[in-house]
Amino acid sequence: MQIFINTYGTYLHVMDDMFEIKVREDKKQPFKVNHIAAHKVTSFIVSKGAALTTDAIALALKHNIDIVIVENNGHPMGRFWHSKLGSTTKIRKQQLVASLNETGLIWVKSWLAKKLENQADFLNGLKKHRKLQHAYLDEKCAAILEFRKKILETDGPDVSSVAESFRGWEGSAGRHYFEALSTCIPNTYQFKGRSFRPAQDEFNALLNYAYGILYSRIERALMLAGLDPFVGFMHRDDYNSKSLVYDFIEPYRIYGERFVFKMFTSKKMNKSYFDNFTGGVSLNQDGKAFFVPEYLEYLDNDRIKYKGRLQTRLNATQLEAHRFANSLIEKE
Amino acid sequence: MITWVLYDIKNNSARSYVSKACKHAGLYRVQYSCFLGTLNANEKDSLELQINKVINEETDKVYLFRMNKEQLKECSMLGQAFDEKLVTDEVKALFF
């Protein structure tokens, strides 16, 4: 189970080889103490304002539990991880090689194509209950699939030679896609395109939060597979940019999008789950407590078919990360 | 499988040892001398050995009951009952 620590002043330490979490609502009340056995925890998601002891970190490392420090919008800032690689260094060497030759390009094309395919599939599915918007959604699907075709047809010696065009096509497809999604959700939540840091509307605020959780899980999956999250193929090698996470997440963004969309269309979200501040909107404490358990249920418990077997969505991404890592070293 | 551990133990230190061992195994306290949670066969055996080591067979009583989810659903729980999802390991996220 994942432990989310959001309350200011929460204290996490070790007692009798178990995690002890002390928390209180306000200063007048006594601390509530909770004990959790180490093997029940898979990760700690900690936002600012909590204190943890080195013993707690050590116990977490010993049990392969990652401690992720997140920003208010759910984006991971950093994590504690044991000072070992998830697997052999060979994978990382090959990953660097692949980032400079056509192997990287093949993977980038497959990820982007899958992403656009997912977007088109989703819009296609929306037609079922929206008879009046058939023509509009068809048009958007066609536009997205056109960009997909362009990406698949482009060849080059390596990723950097075509990255600029890819980014353009991907962005244009995204604009069509989100425009279509906006017209399909209830009027009060319609939005104008994507916005981050800060989000301009409720839909973007929730989607950013959902992506944030996904980033952290994808990064973990990549590390477990022995890959270096910082060595990406298509996203720029900026300082401290987890390029591979942003590359690899593309086919899985749809999980967040579908779920967030469903939360709005099924009228489960309401305005009280969001705080408005100058220049933006963010998901508040109540909103997080409502949204996260349902979202994790969808990612961690709900099963989909992957390679002929029923798997949870996150398990399927983990298997895919291993498959990617193995394909890199097979070609030696 | 879902495991209930119920005990009556006279000696204070033995009793607190058993309660710690239960928590350690990942069980949740549902009453003062009653723990509940999900354990696999190995975890159950290991807990049993630990408890057996400290109790006094002349005076103490400890029961370990096993049941599956269907059987748990058939139980009646009145008043301040425990969180059924928590003890069956269905809770994926806890907030503090």
DSSP B30-53: EETTEEEEE--HHHHHHHHHHHHH
Using CB atoms and an 8 Å cut-off, which of residues 26-65 of chain B contact chain A?
Answer: 26
Within an 8 Å CB–CB cutoff, is residue B94 touching chain A?
Answer: yes
Question: How far is B96 from chain A, CA to nearest CA, in Å?
Answer: 5
Q: What is the mean pLDDT of each run of 10 residues along chain A (332 residues)?
A: 85 91 84 88 86 91 87 78 71 78 82 87 83 81 85 78 81 86 82 79 87 86 81 66 81 90 84 81 82 86 84 87 84 49
Q: Which residues contact A310 (CB under 8 A, 6 or more apart)?
A: A303, A304
* Average pLDDT for chain B: 87
B85 touches chain A (CB under 8 A): no
Nearest-CA residue of chain B relative to A3?
B94
% helix, strand, coil for chain A, step of 5 = 55, 15, 30
- The secondary element (H helix, E strand) that includes residue A281 is strand A280-283
Contact call for residues A130 and A138 (beta carbons, < 8 A): no
Q: Tell me which amino acid residue A331 is.
A: K
pLDDT for position A332 = 47
B24 touches chain A (CB under 8 A): yes
Question: Do the Cβ atoms of B62 and B7 come closer than 8 Å?
Answer: yes
ipTM, two decimals: 0.76
- Closest Cα in chain A, distance from residue B82 (Å): 15
**According to the model, what pLDDT value does residue A86 have?**
60
Q: Tens-of-pLDDT digits for all 96 residues of chain B? A: 889 999 999 899 999 999 999 998 989 888 889 999 988 889 899 999 999 999 988 999 999 999 988 888 888 878 877 777 787 777 777 888
Contact B93/A at CB under 8 A = yes
Residues B69-96 have pLDDT tens digits of 888 888 887 887 777 778 777 777 788 8
Alpha-carbon gap: A173 to the closest alpha carbon of chain B (Å): 34
CB A298 within 8 A of CB A248: no
